[in-house]
Each structure stands twice: as structure tokens, then as C-alpha cells.
């Protein structure tokens, strides 16, 4: 079946512009996560959705970052007034919540470059 998909795969933008990154989770997965991978760093958790609510936004680095999710499907991560330090690969993952342990499946990521 289809995995997690993300678009665009690459995004180059100018400092100060807004960008939107999209994640399509695996069908039926109620949990959705956003992570950020900056060069030379591990993955940093940004936000978690359970359905269309976000019980954990603790990883969002500033109020320039926001995210929303429509039902149990598509999620959009928006970065306003982008800065050069926002350059990173943004990864999305989804999982079911039906068992004690639910594996997170990762998408291929969106590579964001802020000039």
C-alpha cells in the first residue's frame, strides 16, 4: 500500500517568505508527527496530531511555525517569515493508535533551503 508522502520534495525560498509543507499520512493512521532534521543534527520533534487536534506542540521552535490537519488526513506545516536557520529537512511520520505499540512510518521529507 501507499506510504507517507510529502510535497514538495525540495523547496528553495528567500528569507522572509512564507512556505507550506504538506504531508499525506498512511490511510487510517490517526497519529501524525512532524520532525525537523538540520544538517549535522538528529531529528527534532516539532508537533504531534491525534486526529485533527494537536495535543503536543512543544517542539515548535517559534510562533512563526504552525501546523494544521484536516480530519485524519492531510497535514500542512507553515513557516512564516522564513529565516536561514529554518533550512532543514522536514519529515512527517504517521502511525495507528490501535495497539500498545504503534510503529511510526516516515515520509521521504521536504528539503527546505532558505537563501
DSSP state of 51: T
If one asks whether residue 103 binds other proteins (CB under 8 A), the answer comes out as yes
Cα four-point dihedral sign 77, 81, 82, 86: negative
Three cell numbers, residue 5: 508522502
Q: By CB under 8 A, name the one of 107, 110, 112, 114 that touches other proteins.
A: 107
Interacting residues with other proteins between 12 and 51 (CB under 8 A): 31, 33, 35, 40-45, 48, 50
The residues that touch other proteins, with contacts defined as CB under 8 A, are 31, 33, 35, 40-45, 48, 50, 55-56, 59, 91, 93, 95, 97, 100-104, 106-109
Amino acid at each position: 500500500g501507499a506510504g507517507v508522502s510529502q510535497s514538495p520534495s525540495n523547496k528553495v525560498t528567500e528569507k522572509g517568505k512564507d512556505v507550506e509543507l504538506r504531508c499525506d499520512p498512511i490511510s487510517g493512521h490517526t497519529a501524525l508527527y512532524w520532525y525537523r532534521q538540520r544538517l549535522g543534527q538528529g531529528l527534532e520533534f516539532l508537533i504531534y496530531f491525534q486526529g485533527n487536534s494537536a495535543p503536543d506542540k512543544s517542539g515548535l521552535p517559534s510562533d512563526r511555525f504552525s501546523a494544521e490537519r484536516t480530519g485524519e488526513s492531510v497535514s500542512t506545516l507553515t513557516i512564516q517569515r522564513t529565516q536561514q536557520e529554518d533550512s532543514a529537512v522536514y519529515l512527517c511520520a504517521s502511525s495507528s493508535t490501535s495497539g500498545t505499540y504503534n510503529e511510526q512510518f516516515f515520509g521521504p521529507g521536504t528539503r527546505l533551503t532558505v537563501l
